Amino acid sequence: MSKTIKKIGVLTSGGDAPGMNAGIRAVVRTCAFHHIECVGIVHGYQGMIRGDFIPMDARSVKGIINKGGTILKTARSKDFMTKEGRQKAYDQLKKAEVDALVVIGGDGSFTGAMVFSSEFDIPVMGIPGTIDNDIYGTTHTLGYDTALNTVVDVIDKIRDTASSHDRLFFIEVMGRDVGHIALNVGVGAGAEEVLIPEEDLGLDRLLESLRRSKASGKSSSIVVVAEGDKIGKNVFELKDYVDEHMSEYEVRVSVLGHMQRGGSPSCFDRVLASRMGVKAVESLLEGKSNFMVGLLNDVMALTPLDQAIKGQSKINLELLRVSDIMST
């Protein structure tokens, strides 16, 4: 049942991602545009349980569109996984007269929002924020484009060293369950091979590919590895295997880690966050709830939260073929 909304709470949860601040800004300013109050919830669901709310208006979010991370902080909350914890969070919202929530995060954050909404009849709207781009219902999540640009820039620098020393570099990027980052930066940075969870290349085929590269005259190589790749236990095991079977290569490993989450968001992520924030707030004001805002065919679309959580983000098979051709 739709209810009159006078005050909206916004929080960021799960892993941080470039563009979250731009999303917060968009939610706050859309509330101001429609003469709705807005509060920021600090430290995600844990802050909701504590009642850690700060009033926010159009001026309180100035100068944050270009900042990485999240000014509202983020935290995992075991307490929110319990009925007692969610009851405390609801009591704090009622005390602060918050009528609805915009949750910026990933599938875990959305799961919590969906359960909370069903238990206490609080309208919720999700904005996908994760660099992995692993959420169904949107072609791009907040932070994904920025992470791609960050990784390509780093690989370009590593290639300078690889070429100078005739080395083979295994570069591990984030992507525990999906290989979106690895596949796209592999093509964008001209990697000789891309290893992703969706495609089990196999150790023998990897060696065969590297030998073809060597035979074609390549003195150095870049192999991009998603952290969820299934070929070896980890990227260092891949290095040891190649060391053992291809002594002609001097092999190095570079694990990029959390640098992929940092930095100023790209123009694409800033615009995407602005569009998503407007759509999220206006959808709540229209009486909608339990949806995620996403980008589909360059249009802001709504996907039910349960579908966004259960659906599977699929790899671009055409891009996989392009990667194979480009590595010739």
Catalytic residues: 132
Q: Which residues contact 59 (CB under 8 A, 6 or more apart)?
A: none
Distance (Å, rounded) from C-alpha 134 to C-alpha 105?
Answer: 12
Distance (Å, rounded) from C-alpha 48 to C-alpha 112?
Answer: 12
Q: Which of 12, 26, 21 shows the shortest CA–CA distance to 66?
A: 21
Distance (Å, rounded) from C-alpha 290 to C-alpha 114?
Answer: 6
DSSP of 221-287: EEEEEETT-SSSSSHHHHHHHHHHH-TTSEEEEEE-GGGGG-SPPPHHHHHHHHHHHHHHHHHHHTT
Token couple for 90: 């609801």
Q: Which of 128, 2, 133, 22 shows the shortest CA–CA distance to 71?
A: 22
Determine the Cα angle at 176 with ends 172 and 178, to 5°. 100
